[in-house]
Amino acid sequence: KWLQKNYKLQITNYKLPTPLMNLFNGGKHADTNLDVQEYLIIPHGPRKVADKIRAGSEIFHALAKVLKRAGKDTDVGNEGGYAPRVSNNEDPLRYIMKAIMQAGYTPGKEISLGLDVAASELYDAKKEKYFFSLPKKWIDADGMMKVYKHGLSNYPLMSIEDPFAEDDWGAWVKFNEKCKMRNEKILVIGDDLYTTNVERLKKGIELGATNAILIKPNQIGTLSETIDTILLAQKHKMAVVISHRSGETSDTTIADLAVAVNAEYIKAGAPSRGERVAKYDRLMEIERELTK
């Protein structure tokens, strides 16, 4: 309420965000051999936030059983997701699909999948290529698009965050346009691409680089700049994902921010580790307040 009043947000009804829950940590977020930074589930089927969080938690614990049966460890990474060593970058998607079904949910209909590739970490600007260690190979932007096409064809993927490096603008534009042409209902999310920065977002809007933006308040530094970025994105019909960071505390402000600006999504990590769970607890608390 304070945020809406202070920033004169023209919102009449509160809309609660759908969580993007990180179940696998890789890349720079865990001591594993995974190239991709995050594998997520998006529980869009249940109507209430509490039921979405419950679904995510049930799938998270079902995934532990799936991994144990496969002989994998269940230690967690920086953002609460599991971080076992795997054979290839597709394995986590297969494990998560099994966990969704074993938890009693329907992939695609109730629970979809998401990726945070964090492709800037894989990119060599001199070679203009991306390096994958599973298996060891260099891939250009067109090759990356083929990888994503394979994923979209074989899994209920609903979002891909940072599919290309932060300055590989041409690849972003081409991929976003291809998704539109194929009528793919997928969120192409810019995080490293925009860094919650109005000037970079303006460029992305002008080029048509994405249809969604990740928002991290401490990425830009002030709440006012954060709100400015959100309002610009919403003005241009971009989906907004309010996000945590890898080095989190138990502060829950992003949950209130997501509700205040009517963000479609919130990304707060796995339903594990106190600094992640705190955000989900706050969301459920807000939902209870609104439904009194």
Provide the pLDDT for residue 215.
Answer: 98
Angstrom distance (rounded) from CA 159 to CA 213: 11
Is 240:266 a contact under the CB 8 Å cutoff? no
pLDDT at residue 31, rounded to an integer: 80
What angle, rounded to 10 degrees, do the helices at 198-207 and 169-181 form?
Answer: 50
Distance of alpha carbon 270 from alpha carbon 67, whole angstroms: 16
Band (pLDDT 50/70/90 cuts) for residue 275 is very high
Quote the CA–CA distance of 32 and 272 in Å, as a whole number: 18
Q: What percent of the chain has pLDDT over 90?
A: 90
| Residue with token string 């949950």 | 255
In contact, 37 and 25? CB cutoff 8 Å: yes
pLDDT in tens, 195-251: 999 999 999 999 999 999 999 999 999 999 999 999 999 999 999 999 999 889 999
pLDDT tens for 81-135 read: 999 999 999 999 999 999 999 999 999 999 999 999 999 999 999 999 999 998 8
Question: What is the set of active-site residues?
Answer: 79, 216
Q: What is the DSSP letter of 230?
A: H
